[in-house]
Amino acid sequence: MPDSATMDPATRRPYDLAAVLDVAVQEFNTRGYDGTSMGDLANALGLSKSSIYHHVPSKEALLGLAVDRALLTLFDVLDEPAAVQGPARARLEHVLRRSVEVLDQELPFVTLLLRVRGNTQTERHALERRREFDRQVTDLVREAMADGDLRDDLDPALVTRLLFGTVNSLVEWYRPEEGSARTVADALVAMTLGGLDTT
């Protein structure tokens, strides 16, 4: 079965914004946002360059839509019941495991988010939202230390950066498969929290 990029534009289902975005995000992740031209996108879509502008006003708007989706999904995790009630140690593990799941389910969008550099206003906003996520997790780590559940001889901000450094590094190699998110989350939690737990 031929894909959208090679099918006759007259017979295949026309693109909508979501489909254009999916292809664009994939290209951005392959070649980098700055390394991907509108011509590259047009090739990948099997469209002319100008047709892309029917769906989106600019290249940067594509980036904005993608990172907003990733940020929305990640911040939703922090509002889940298991992330706001119970001992901090358990809430931290929940946030870690759910972050791996989000990464599994929204891999291209999260990947793009984590590679943003700050060249445009869109990118700088994304970086600020990531810092806010980080602050909220740091509070969780600090609380778990105060509870005596995590060793408290390490700086909570440092521990948070190491923890989510490990999680975020998954985008460099992880590819979703049946059950693989669970395997990775188990190993990640065992390795990291296993070294931090006091019990």
Q: Contact residues for its own copies (CB under 8 A)?
A: 30-35, 115, 117-119, 151, 154-155, 158-159, 161-166, 168-170, 172-173, 183-184, 187-188, 190-196
Name the residue nearer to its own copies (CB basis): 37 or 48.
Answer: 37
How far apart CA 41 and CA 48 sit, in angstroms, is 9
Q: How far is the CB of 128 from its own copies (least distance, A)?
A: 14
Choices 38-46, 94-102, 122-130, 131-139; region in contact with DNA by CB under 7 A: 38-46
| 101 in contact with DNA (CB under 7 A) | no
Least Cβ distance, residue 88 to DNA (angstroms): 44
Interacting residue with DNA among 36, 73, 99, 160 (CB under 7 A): 36
Compute φ and ψ for 150, nearest 5 degrees. -120, 145
Segment 129 to 168, residues that bind DNA, using CB under 7 A: none
Binding site for DNA (CB under 7 A): 9, 14-16, 36-40, 46-51, 53-55, 57-60
